[in-house]
Amino acid sequence: MVRYLITRLGQALVVVVLVTVIAFLILHLLPGGAARATLGKEATLDQLAAFNHEMGYDRPWIQQYLMYVQRLLHGDLGYSYQLNQSVVEAITQRLPKTMVLSLLSTLLAIVLAIPLGVIQAVRRNRWPDYTITSLSLLAYATPIFFMGLMMIILFSQVWPILPPEAPQGFTVGEVLADPAGLVLPTITLAIVTIAVYSRYVRSTMVDNLNENYVRTARSKGLSERRVVLRHTLRNGLFPVITLLGMYLPALFSGALVVESLFNFPGMGQLFWQAALKRDFPILLGVTVIISIATVVGALVADLLYAAVDPRVRLRGSSS
C-alpha cells in the first residue's frame, strides 16, 4: 500500500510539474505580455522594459520558469497589482467560501441522486423511471444561468421567501451566518449535479441488477428490498466514487456562472474577473491550485476505491 502511494504520488507530481510548465508558457505567450497587461495601453516602451527588467521578464524563459517554481515552492504565487494583494492572500480569502458552497451542493446532490437512481433502476422502463429521466434531462439541458435566473425570479420575486443574493460575508463564519442566502445558489448548483449523478447511479444499478450474483441473492429467498439495498447498492456505488473524485477540483474552482449570478465572492468570481482584466498572477495561481486539486482528486478517488472494494484492496496487498 505504501509503495503504491509513493508511486501514485510520484505520478501526481509529474503531472503537476507539467501543468505549471504549460500554464507558464501559455501565459507568457499571450500578446502584450504581463507588462502590457499590468501597466495598461498608455505605458511607454521604456516603462514596459523597466517593468520587465524589474520582474525578471527579460531573462531567458528557463530561468524565469525556475524562478517561478522556486517561489511556488515557498508558497508564493505572485502578486496581483490589480487587486493589490498577494495571490495567496486573494485565494485564501475566497477558497473557504467556495468550498462551503460546493460541499453543500454536492452533499445535497448525492443525498437526492442516489435514491432517485436506485428507484429508476428498480422500476426501469416504467413510469417512475421515465418521469425521473425526463426531469433529469431537462435539468441537465437547461443552461445554468437560466436555471439560476428562474430560481431568483420564482423564489425572490414571484414568491419572495429567499434573498436573490448570496451572503456577502468576508469569512466563512459570516457566510454561514446568513443561511437563507445560501439556499438558492446551493440548489441551482445541485440541480445539474443531481441529473448527472442519478443517471450514473441508474446505469450502474441496472448493470448490477442484471448480474448473476443478484439472481443468487434472490434464490436465497431474500426480499427485494434486501436484494437491492444489501447486495446491489454497494457494488453499484463504487463507480460513483470515481465521479466524486473528479468533482473535487470543482470544490476549489467554484462555479463561474453561479458565483457571478448570485454575486458570491468565491474562487469562480475571482477567476472570472482576473480573466477579464488579464490578471496573470491570479490566473496562473488559480490554475495551479485547480490542477493540483484535480490530481489529488483522482488520487483520493483511487484510494477510496481501494478502501471500499475488497477486490482492489486484496489484489494489491496479496501480490
Partner 1 sequence: MSESTEPKVRQHQAAGDGTAVQPLLELRDLDTDIALRRGTVHALDGVSLEVMPGETLGVVGESGSGKTMTALSIMGLLPQGGQVTGGQILFEGRDLRSLPADEVRRTRGVRMGMVFQDPLTSLNPTMRIGYQVAEPLRVHEGVGKAEARERAVEILRRVGMPRPDRIVDNYPHELSGGMRQRVAIAMALVCSPRLLIADEPTTALDVTTQRQILELIDDLREEFGMAVILVTHDLGVIAGRADRVAVMYAGRVVETAATAELFRSPRHRYTEALMEALPETAVREAGKEARLYSIPGLPPDLSRPLTGCRFAPRCRHVTDECRSTDVALSGGEHQFACLHPVSGTPTGPVTLPAPVVREPAPVEAAAPVRVESTATPVLSVQNLVKNYAAHGRGLLRRNAGQVSAVADVSFEVAPGETFGLVGESGCGKSTVGRLAVGLERPSAGQILLDGTDLAGLAGRERRRMHRQVQLMFQDSYAAMNPRMRVDAILAEPLEIQKVGDGAARRARITSLLDQVGLSRRVLERYPHEFSGGQLQRIGLARSLALQPRLIVGDEPVSALDVSIQAQVLNLMRDLQRELGLAYVFISHDLSVVDYMADRIGVMYLGKLVEVGPAREVVRAARHPYTQALIDAVPSITPSATAARDGVTIQGELPSALNPPTGCRFRTRCPLAQEICETEPPLAGDRHQVACHFPLRPEADAVSAQTGTAA
The footprint of partner 1 on residues 200-229 (CB under 8 A) is 211-213, 215-223, 226
Helix and strand numbers (H, E) in the chain are 16, 2
Q: For the residues of 200-250, what is the DSSP string, one character each?
A: HHHHHHHHHHTSHHHHHHHHTT--HHHIIIIIIHHHHHHHHHHHHHHHHHH
3 binds partner 1 (CB under 8 A): yes
The yes or no reply on residue 314 touching partner 1 (CB under 8 A) is yes
Give dist(CA 77, CA 42) in Å, integer.
27
C-alpha–C-alpha distance, residues 295 and 2, integer Å: 18
User: Residue 267 in contact with residue 95, Cβ under 8 Å?
Assistant: yes
* Upper half-sphere CA count for residue 208 (Cβ side, 13 Å): 24
**Grid cell at residue 259:** 458565483
As a whole number of angstroms, the distance between CA 79 and CA 89 comes to 9
Pick the closer one to partner 1 by CB: 75 or 310. 310
Report in angstroms how near the CB of residue 217 gets to partner 1 at its nearest.
7
CB closer to partner 1 out of 59 and 215: 215
Q: Which stretch binds partner 1 (CB under 8 A): 48-56, 129-137, 255-263, 306-314?
A: 306-314
Place of cell 515557498: 74
153 vs 229, which CB is nearer to partner 1? Answer: 229
Interface segment toward partner 1; rule CB under 8 A; list 26-34, 134-142, 174-182, 302-310? 302-310
**Cβ at position 311, least distance to partner 1 in Å:** 5
What does the binding site for partner 1 look like in residue numbers (CB under 8 A)? 1, 3-4, 7, 211-213, 215-223, 226, 231, 234-235, 306, 309-319
